[in-house]
């Protein structure tokens, strides 16, 4: 299955594999502590956010869509 951003598909696959294993082996059995997929997810998410902005997809109601939060502008 592909990602909305073509460049993100590989990152997505790695994350999905990690998540699916954790979901079935840990989460559903009541062991949700720990996040073995956190790093993979961060890298994958950054890629997807960029793709969504580039394609101008109107996502509703999710905080991650703030583009310039935390960025400071340099004045010359």
Partner 1 sequence: HPWETVTTAAMQKYPNPMNPGVVGVDVLQRQVDAGGKLHSHRLLSTEWGIPAIVKSLIGTCRTKTYVQEHSVVDPVKKTMELKSRNISFTNLVSVDERLVYKPHPREPDKTILTQEAIISVKGVSLSSYLEGLMANTISSNAKKGREALEWVINRLNAEIEEFTASARGTMRNSMAAAAFVEK
Footprint on this chain of partner 1 (rule: CB under 8 A): 1-5, 8, 12, 15-16, 19-20, 23-24, 27-30, 32, 41, 44-45, 48, 52, 55, 57-60, 62, 64
Handedness of CA 42, 47, 48, 52 (dihedral sign): positive
CB of 57 to partner 1, least distance (A): 6
Instruction: Judge whether 53 and 17 are in contact, CB under 8 Å.
Output: no
Handedness of CA 13, 19, 20, 22 (dihedral sign): positive
CB of 7 to partner 1, least distance (A): 12
CB of 3 to partner 1, least distance (A): 5
Looking at the Cβ atoms of 34 and 74, the one nearer to partner 1 is 34
The DSSP symbol for 1 reads -
């Amino acid at each position: 299955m592909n990602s909305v951003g073509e460049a993100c598909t590989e990152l997505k696959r790695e994350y999905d594999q990690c998540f699916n294993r954790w979901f079935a082996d840990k989460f559903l059995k009541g062991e949700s502590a720990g996040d073995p997929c956190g790093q993979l997810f961060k890298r994958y998410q950054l890629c997807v956010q960029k793709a969504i902005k580039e394609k101008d997809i109107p996502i509703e109601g999710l905080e991650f869509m703030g583009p310039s939060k935390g960025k400071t502008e340099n004045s010359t």
